[in-house]
Structure 1
Amino acid sequence: MLALEKAHLKQGICLDLSREEFLDYSSIASLIKNTSFLETLLLPKIKNEKVEEILSILNEATIENTTLTNIRFNSFPLEHLSNEAALIYKKIQSRLARNKKRVFAIHGGGYIGLGLMADIISQSPFEYNIVATSSDKFINLLINCNHQFRIQHDASKESQTTCVNNVTMVYSRNHKNIHDLYIQSNIMAICLTEEGLLQSANIIAQGLIARYETDQAGLKIFILMNKPDCADFTRHVVYTAMLEQTNNPEYCEKVLKSIHFLPSMVDRIVNKIDTEILLQQLKSQLRKNYLHSNHAKPLQLFDVKKSINQQVNEIFSSPKKLLKAVKQFGLQINLFNAELSFVLYVPDGVPEVSRFPAIKAVKNLDQYIFLKNKFINGPHAILAWLGGLMGYQTVAAASRDPMILHFIQGMMKHEIAPILRAEYPEIKNSQLEFLKSTFFKHCRNIKDDPIIRVGRDPLRKLIRGGCIMGIIELYQKHKMTMPLLGLKRGIASGILYAVKAIDPSNSEGKILKEIFDKSQDYTDLLCYHGAYGNGNYPGMDKKQDHLLIQGILHQIKLLDKLTNENYQSPLRNRSSGN
């Protein structure tokens, strides 16, 4: 019977077992744990002597469930429950009440948090309430006017847009907002940088402890971070913060037992639309509303005695009036530019994934992440560094430069691909070719992706084990012998990018430039062992890495000459990539 019912589950289903005389509650518990469609469960009358046993089973089953909103019994002896059973019943009801609110929280409402994760959630047929954090008060107010924003899918005037609905923004620098988010959310995503996570670790730990003390509910947290082992890293950071607060490792493990940090791989490039462009778009929409308004019955915000420009400027000079205009006229808030089609890859075995069409569960996610990090992220950074050195402002423009394109393609084909196949012999050439073609398509299609976004943080991208040095370490591991002129030149491009201050605002670039300005020796940059994050940066060793260092120094000399000869200021005018 139960197998038949399970086979007929569908969205928002109510499973009525209220007339069944003999039920295997262990099977029901398994169903609760493993389905993402069951929302209401009707159960038969429970005998008094079985109440505590069945409540215990349901308690265990609902700890990690995020979709069940109602459990009703044909008859239930609530008034006769023992104190322990009453407490269990209260916890179950607390979890169901939380599920009913369908709050999908996003800690980190930036490029990826709003530009990707919120879009994924908004596409779900189950209509989640998205609550996202941001420190940008102005954007928070704009979104909260109508609880929506839009994503453009190219930079043209006729660009297609996607509307992301049911969004509420909260101010991220108010710790209570973050604390409450971890208690009240039904399911969650952390979309922070490594630095942002470290800064937020204490309040995350406090929120998860409070959640546990409320009703011991579990929580599934997707981790969207451009870092290998991002889920393990996040758990370690949160556990460390929790241990400092409690000094009780056993309790920390108990709290985190049902908190699942889920790794993911992002397949979308997102860029924020400049605030000035956003304001110009809003002004244009407001003028159109003025021209189409009924002058016989003028709208409240418009004074027909004044010129349209005067009125629009007055509205934009007052945040209160601007927010009123956004709400009254339903003005479109275009926040991001991103590709239309995309996928978020996550590990297999998460029932809720079936609720989100843009999330794809895969069995070998670690390999997906590894390949993206080494085969895509490294070349992407090198392309940006070379583009910056050549005078380009966007990745799209740099990717159309024949010299840069030929170099990146050759490095991927003749150096990185053979090294990856040595590490993963089962990888097919067709897989790597598909990844490569998709990568270059991304680069060309996102026309306003800035060089400085992709090229930022050269220390992080050149770190041991990272997206570039990690490839060289695999080369050494497998005792391969082909020359690595491309990868050495790639490292050289990152060093020169920092020293020439292509992005003078980047803190990591400043560190490298300051070192070079003092010593005028590129070796000091390659062998940097100074403070970095919570420890020291693991730079190269002058003796052990002597040959590699010499090869990179030679490439720095050649590349400096090459980019100086080919750098022309008119190239900056080709930043559109057309």
Structure 2
Amino acid sequence: MIFETKTVNAAIFDMDGTMFDTERLRMKMIKQASEILYGKSMDDKLLIDSLGLSAKSSEKLAKRQYGEDYPYKEIRKKADEFELDYVRKNGVPIKNGLIDVLERLKKNGVLLAVATSSRRAITEEYLMRSNIMSYFDIIVCGDEVKNGKPNPEIFLKAASELNCEPSNCLILEDSQNGLLAAEDSGAMPIFVKDMKDPKQEIKDRAFKPYDSMMDFLNDLIKFTAKMPTPPRLNEHFPRRFNHMKVGIHGFGAIGGGYLTQIFSHWDGYTRPIEIIGATRNHNLIELVNSFGKFNVHYENLAFDQTITNVRLVDISEEEEMKKMYTESEIIGLSLPEAAIKKEAGIIAKGLIERHKNNGKEITILVILNKIGGGLFVKTNVENALKNFVGEEEAKKIIDKTFFAETVVNRMVSKIQKNTLLKQVRMNFKTVEANISKKELNIGSILENSSEQNGMDSKEDKKRNKENDNGNKDANLVKDISKKLYNVSEITQELSKLNITLFNSEPDMLLYASKGSPILERMRQIKTVDNIAEMQDVKNKLSNGTHAIIAWYSSLLGYKTIGQGMGDERVISLVKRVMKKEIKPAIVKNNTELTGYVDNFIDNFIKRCRYSFKDPCIRVGRDPLRKLKRGERVLGTINLAQENDVPTPMLEFGVAAGLLYSILSINEKDKECKIIKEIYDKEESIKDVLTYKGNYNGKPYLCLDEQKDADLIVRIEKQFKDLIDDYSKERFVS
């Protein structure tokens, strides 16, 4: 690996204070032990001065201050016991960014070693408990060298055992003595600050200094390979979890069925330790939180992808939402446009809480099918912030918030509620029956073994008297093995419990606007300079076409998009609309988009053919909105007219949307009712197309009776022909 023009073959890590946040913990335990054994707590300055020293050197400092009778060895031993007890109960405190660093180094061919002043017994336990021992090729400990730091012996020994020249080794250290030892070894010292800085003249000897492991990681990313983009759909998520949490504000089809997969693939090296989703669906909250996972089903590939480490919260619980915004590195905002203004207040409160707690930057990934969606959300949130904290403070918070606009190239739908509940009942009954069948004694699993609780049962005592020590060990193994067998059997059965929440199509990449460093790392996100252009192209290609498929398929009597796309009349219409009308209009002024457009069309048609779980009435809803001037279908017709491209099939699509509404195929759709009411007055399509009434508090954007006269006439003709076909029963009833 090349790092800052230097060839790096190995990286050697100090342990305490560098990889683990244990220096503070150890100091606390030494003070407690000193209080117990000496009657007086050890001085803070002495503890700080001892950082990075060997046990022998630390003992000399302590006895110099407290006298030769000071029981340093006993105090250190007692402190070790306290510390071990703590980490066994609470785990080893790993430095943020460490797992990412180890993964990147390992996967880029760098050998790894630990070189620590701690004893081997403690070192190995810490490495095993933190689940990182497998990263390291060799380990060198303080009780295996004659000279402690600042002597370079321990680093030279580590480099030698790796069979690497020290000059090709990075050495990560947090202490002054460690830095001196690393430099004297001839390696490249990387200083990672923990509790204190070394003297400036010594810090200047570092090859590169960093204020934290995260800072080193951010630098390392520049010199390590980016994983291939996008990953294969069936590629495993990274096995290691980093320290990050991510949030999804709006755990619907796109939020739950798409963003969770993007976040789970992350950068290909590690993935977030937790995905927090916010929803109002209490059944979903209960189910996902009890299972701890769910499936996304890719129907056209007969493939299920399991999303793990996910937790849902109630979107109406203010404290939970503020916590999500405070803890998450990135938030996927997947809400309808109409909900943004209402949710802007809680977003603002979350950002205020984050600003108070850590002041760190955050990226909000705006999933909104709207050109300028990022700015739209930013404006609403900024207005809410001004109401809460004033203009000056609001600006500070906004400056640390990046609103990334996106283009989604995927169709996702939710599993119907009845289907969901049915699969939950069936899964649980099957697992319950299997556990009962195996007659597993769950209670025995919770009982301590005789060695663990120090109290043998009568049967154990009798057995132990009759057997020698070898048999006693064998019985202990047998006892533990039986419990582990029960645990594994139950675990296997419980692992079969899962729920499928979403059906999805397999397109992978999410396009996002450039500007956020975290987005550049993610495997399933492609950042672009002109996201508005990509949004416009995608909208013109898919949004109007998708609605036309739904309207026409419904008129033909089909219930789902997949069924409709099986009809040659529908698929022929779609191909002509996309390839003969929309594509020429888009690429005429920008031929560079040709490849993207062709790929999008092919994938879109393929996806729609498999969309048997996507109801036509869902896709065809809100026809008044989709037939506004400049939007969806009519906006694409306008672009085509500007580029002299005829649009008979798009005009047929408009007529299909109008007839769909007038026939009340979706009786619950309010916009269908409005269209029908306008038409029924004079049986005039022209009246519908030039409707200027109220729409969501504003005048409806309709066609102009004079400027669009020719277009109106053409749509009227298409509508008449469509009605004639319908009345001749050429459509399925």
TM-score between both structures, scaled by the size of structure 1: 0.74
Partner residue of 1:137? 282
Structure 2 counterpart of 1:139, one-letter code: L
Range that drifts further, 325-334 or 460-469: 325-334
**Greater relative contact order structure (CA < 8 Å, 6+ sep):** 1
Partner residue of 2:565? 399
The one of 271, 275, 279 aligned to 1:127: 271
**Is the CA contact (8 Å cut-off) linking 2:626 and 2:632 kept in structure 1?**
yes
Shift of 1:352: 2.2
Structure 2 counterpart of 1:506, one-letter code: D
**Is the CA contact (8 Å cut-off) linking 1:13 and 1:39 kept in structure 2?**
no
Shift of 1:343: 2.0
Q: Secondary structure at the match of 1:283?
A: helix
**Is the CA contact (8 Å cut-off) linking 2:434 and 2:493 kept in structure 1?**
no
**Is the CA contact (8 Å cut-off) linking 2:378 and 2:403 kept in structure 1?**
yes
Separation (CA, whole Å) in 2 of partners of 1:327 and 1:463: 54
The one of 101, 113, 119 aligned to 1:13: 101
Separation (CA, whole Å) in 2 of partners of 1:390 and 1:229: 36
Shift of 1:444: 1.2
Change in 2 beyond 3 A, CA 1:2/1:357: closer
Separation (CA, whole Å) in 2 of partners of 1:5 and 1:200: 50
Separation (CA, whole Å) in 2 of partners of 1:437 and 1:242: 44
Runs (5+) with no aligned partner, structure 2? 12-97, 103-169, 180-189, 204-208, 219-240, 443-490
Separation (CA, whole Å) in 1 of partners of 2:598 and 2:399: 40
Q: Secondary structure at the match of 2:426?
A: helix
Separation (CA, whole Å) in 2 of partners of 1:221 and 1:424: 30
Shift of 1:295: 4.2
Q: Does 1:535 align with 2:698?
A: yes
Structure 2 counterpart of 1:206, one-letter code: K
Shift of 1:2: 7.2
The one of 344, 356, 373 aligned to 1:201: 344
Partner residue of 2:522? 356
**Is the CA contact (8 Å cut-off) linking 1:147 and 1:167 kept in structure 2?**
yes
Partner residue of 1:93? none
**Aligned-pair RMSD on alpha carbons?**
3.9
Partner residue of 2:577? 411
Partner residue of 1:230? 373
Change in 2 beyond 3 A, CA 1:173/1:496: farther
Partner residue of 1:288? 430
Structure 1 counterpart of 2:431, one-letter code: N
Shift of 1:485: 1.6
Separation (CA, whole Å) in 1 of partners of 2:591 and 2:494: 60
Partner residue of 2:623? 458
Shift of 1:396: 1.1
Q: Secondary structure at the match of 1:342?
A: coil
Partner residue of 1:160? 303
Separation (CA, whole Å) in 2 of partners of 1:65 and 1:166: 26
Separation (CA, whole Å) in 2 of partners of 1:225 and 1:104: 18
The one of 714, 720, 725 aligned to 1:562: 725
**Is the CA contact (8 Å cut-off) linking 1:145 and 1:327 kept in structure 2?**
no
Q: How does 1:92-491 map to 2 (within 5 A)?
A: 101-124=243-266, 125-128=269-272, 129-154=274-299, 159-245=302-388, 248=391, 250-295=392-437, 297=439, 331-340=497-506, 342-348=508-514, 350-353=516-519, 355-428=521-594, 430-478=595-643, 480=644, 482-491=645-654
Partner residue of 1:321? none
**Is the CA contact (8 Å cut-off) linking 2:253 and 2:413 kept in structure 1?**
yes
TM-score between both structures, scaled by the size of structure 2: 0.60
Change in 2 beyond 3 A, CA 1:162/1:39: farther
Question: For the pair shown, which has the larger CA radius of gyration, 1 or 2?
Answer: 2
Separation (CA, whole Å) in 2 of partners of 1:123 and 1:352: 13
Change in 2 beyond 3 A, CA 1:554/1:331: same
Separation (CA, whole Å) in 1 of partners of 2:653 and 2:596: 23
Separation (CA, whole Å) in 1 of partners of 2:590 and 2:569: 30
Post-superposition Cα deviations, 1:449-505, rounded to whole Å, max 9, x if no partner, equal 211222122223222332222222323444x2x432222211222222222222222
Q: Does 1:45 align with 2:197?
A: yes
Structure 2 counterpart of 1:184, one-letter code: E
**Is the CA contact (8 Å cut-off) linking 2:355 and 2:397 kept in structure 1?**
yes
**Is the CA contact (8 Å cut-off) linking 1:374 and 1:471 kept in structure 2?**
yes
Change in 2 beyond 3 A, CA 1:431/1:168: closer
Shift of 1:280: 2.1
Change in 2 beyond 3 A, CA 1:179/1:186: same
**Is the CA contact (8 Å cut-off) linking 1:126 and 1:355 kept in structure 2?**
no
Separation (CA, whole Å) in 2 of partners of 1:352 and 1:493: 44
**Is the CA contact (8 Å cut-off) linking 1:456 and 1:506 kept in structure 2?**
yes
Post-superposition Cα deviations, 1:259-313, rounded to whole Å, max 9, x if no partner, equal 111112222211111121122222332343244334473789xxxxxxxxxxxxx
Change in 2 beyond 3 A, CA 1:337/1:217: same
Q: Does 1:516 align with 2:679?
A: yes
Separation (CA, whole Å) in 2 of partners of 1:351 and 1:234: 20
Post-superposition Cα deviations, 1:13-47, rounded to whole Å, max 9, x if no partner, equal 278375899x9xxxxxxxxxxxxxx9976698366
Partner residue of 1:501? 664
Range that drifts further, 198-207 or 531-540: 531-540
Shift of 1:555: 1.6
Partner residue of 1:318? none
Post-superposition Cα deviations, 1:101-147, rounded to whole Å, max 9, x if no partner, equal 52200000000000000122123343311110111101110000032
Q: How does 1:25-44 map to 2 (within 5 A)?
A: none
Separation (CA, whole Å) in 1 of partners of 2:5 and 2:618: 53
Separation (CA, whole Å) in 2 of partners of 1:39 and 1:221: 33
Q: Does 1:550 align with 2:713?
A: yes
**Is the CA contact (8 Å cut-off) linking 1:102 and 1:185 kept in structure 2?**
yes
Post-superposition Cα deviations, 1:387-417, rounded to whole Å, max 9, x if no partner, equal 1111111111111211122222122222222
Percentage identity across aligned positions? 29
Change in 2 beyond 3 A, CA 1:337/1:542: same
Separation (CA, whole Å) in 2 of partners of 1:246 and 1:543: 50
Post-superposition Cα deviations, 1:78-101, rounded to whole Å, max 9, x if no partner, equal xxxxxxxxxxxxxxxxxxxxx985
Post-superposition Cα deviations, 1:511-550, rounded to whole Å, max 9, x if no partner, equal 3234334554333322233333453321222233222222
Separation (CA, whole Å) in 1 of partners of 2:639 and 2:215: 41
